[in-house]
């Protein structure tokens, strides 16, 4: 059964993925030789969600549009100069006329497990209490990112019984304000420093009307969620802003107004119980049910590729140029070259006597004779010179690494810059 929701997929610049995004748009970076955005599109389609709208800067159009057209997906862009500093709230406001139903906001860089259908999150939202404004997908990190950057540590507070989100996952800080009213309304709170925000949100259409009334809200995660979460224990906020959300009246609450028990009816009119206030709720994915992650940092990108490689099951009786690795079509490998635990893209030319261990090689890369790569990421159309030795290095697209060079990535990456012309 098709979901009656519109999926909005946001494609950002991916600053934390530099130099990978230097010449390749973030949604087209490949994980296990498949474009990132294809994982999100497949996730929607597998749950019967066909109304999909992809939003991106206009500079992505030439490369991204052909892929989306082949999937029959609606695509809109905004000029780069205008959208350079936009966040999720700004994008939703700009395209609000195209969103007429409840909707799901998705990042272009998430890779979910097969055990977590998008429909399960939507069902959790639709079957929850009538006053749920947003359902946010949260998950526990399953990766060790090593020397590469991973997601920022987060701190969050939620009610384990109702799954009401009191403080959404936000970057760690030294102090946290805990109001006495919040503790009174929710006496059994759980504080977590391990939950991560997947940036997957199921939202009421009325939340978009609220965004239009409050243009100062830029980020869903940093601005909107913390503000809306306060509504569950600060009744004044919901009274002030309910008009923008058009939340239906609770039938039980409406009946209380006409109760013959005057004292109880009077109290009910002045105090809104927590369970009747607008709220944000979380859907927490159990890591035992499959690994989920976002390729929005270099560490996340590398680990998700490795996770897909671990899940890859080679077909029996099918010869491959690199046993234990994942290779695409038209890969040339010279004699005496060794490839282990790596992902090799299309049209890659690997010379003689090369050694590639635990690396991710994108499409149309040339690796010349005698080169050695250990735990590296090499982007599309890059060239690695003869006998170059790279360890823990990330090479941008269309780059040239000079012959006989040696580099090991350390916090000061200027050494790598010297190798690339």
Nearest to 372, CA basis, from 405, 332, 411: 405
Predicted TM-score (pTM) of the model is 0.87
Task: Look at residue 231 in the predicted model and tell me its pLDDT.
Answer: 83
pLDDT tens-place string over residues 129-174: 778 999 999 999 989 998 899 998 888 889 888 898 888 887 755 5
Higher-confidence residue of 242 and 256: namely 242
What is the C-alpha to C-alpha distance for residues 255 and 306, in angstroms, rounded to an integer? 57
Query: For 258, phi and psi rounded to 5 degrees?
Result: -100, 15
Segment 192-204 mean pLDDT: 93
For the sheet containing 338-340, what is the strand order?
Answer: 338-340, 355-357, 372-374, 389-391, 406-408
Beta bridge partners of 164: 281
**Cβ-proximal residues to 261 (8 Å cutoff; 6+ apart), any chain:** none
∠ Cα 237 240 244 (to 5°):
110
Task: Look at residue 162 in the predicted model and tell me its pLDDT.
Answer: 87
DSSP 31: E
**Given a cut of 70, is residue 91 above it in pLDDT?**
yes
> Tokens standing for 364?
């149309």
Task: Look at residue 414 in the predicted model and tell me its pLDDT.
Answer: 39
What is the C-alpha to C-alpha distance for residues 35 and 33, in angstroms, rounded to an integer? 7
Domain 6-299: CATH class, spelled out = alpha beta
Instruction: Please give the share of the chain, as a percent, with pLDDT higher than 90.
Output: 63
Q: What is the mean pLDDT of the chain?
A: 86
Q: Where are the domains of the chain?
A: 6-299, 325-417
Q: How far is CA 192 from CA 149, 167, 168, 286, 349, in A?
A: 21, 10, 10, 14, 47
**Given a cut of 50, is residue 102 above it in pLDDT?**
yes
Tokens 């090799």: give the residue: 344
User: Terminal CA-to-CA distance of the chain, rounded, Å?
Assistant: 53
CATH H superfamily, domain 325-417: Hexapeptide repeat proteins (2.160.10.10)
pLDDT category, 315, cuts 50, 70, 90? low
């Amino acid at each position: 059964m098709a979901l009656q929701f519109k999926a909005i997929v946001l494609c950002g610049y991916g600053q934390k993925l530099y130099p990978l995004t230097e010449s390749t748009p973030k949604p087209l970076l490949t994980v296990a030789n498949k474009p990132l955005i294809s994982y999100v599109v497949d996730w929607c389609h597998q749950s019967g969600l066909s109304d999909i709208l992809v939003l991106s800067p206009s500079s992505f159009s030439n490369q991204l549009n052909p892929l989306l057209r082949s999937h029959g997906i609606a695509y809109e862009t905004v000029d780069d100069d205008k959208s350079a500093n936009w966040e999720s709230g700004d994008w939703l406001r700009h395209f609000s006329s195209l969103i007429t139903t409840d909707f799901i906001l998705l990042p272009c860089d998430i890779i979910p497990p097969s055990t977590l259908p998008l429909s399960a999150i939507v069902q959790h939202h639709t079957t929850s209490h009538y006053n749920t404004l947003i359902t946010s997908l949260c998950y526990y990190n399953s990766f060790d990112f090593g020397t590469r950057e991973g997601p920022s540590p987060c701190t969050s507070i939620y009610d384990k019984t109702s799954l009401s989100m009191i403080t959404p996952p936000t970057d760690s800080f030294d102090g946290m304000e805990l109001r006495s009213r919040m503790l009174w309304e929710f006496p059994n709170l759980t504080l977590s420093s391990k939950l991560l925000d997947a940036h997957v949100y199921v939202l009421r259409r009325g939340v978009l009307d609220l965004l239009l009334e409050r243009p100062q809200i830029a980020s869903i995660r940093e601005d909107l969620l913390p503000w809306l979460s306060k509504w569950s224990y600060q009744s004044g906020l919901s009274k002030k802003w309910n008009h923008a959300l058009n939340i239906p009246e609770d039938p039980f609450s409406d009946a209380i107004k006409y109760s013959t028990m005057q004292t109880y009816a009077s109290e009910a009119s002045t105090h809104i119980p927590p369970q009747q206030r607008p709220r944000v709720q979380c859907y927490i994915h159990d890591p035992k049910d499959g690994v989920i992650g976002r390729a929005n940092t270099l560490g996340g990108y590398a680990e998700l590729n490795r996770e897909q490689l671990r899940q890859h099951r080679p077909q029996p009786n099918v010869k491959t140029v690199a046993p234990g690795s994942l290779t695409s079509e038209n890969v040339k490998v010279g004699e005496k070259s060794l490839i282990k635990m790596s992902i090799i893209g299309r049209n890659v030319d690997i010379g003689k006597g090369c050694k590639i261990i635990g690396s991710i090689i994108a499409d149309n890369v040339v690796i010349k004779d005698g080169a050695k790569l250990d735990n590296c990421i090499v982007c599309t159309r890059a060239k690695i010179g003869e006998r170059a030795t790279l360890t823990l290095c990330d090479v941008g697209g269309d780059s040239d690494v000079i012959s006989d060079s040696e580099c090991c990535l350390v916090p000061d990456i200027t050494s790598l810059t010297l190798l690339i012309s």
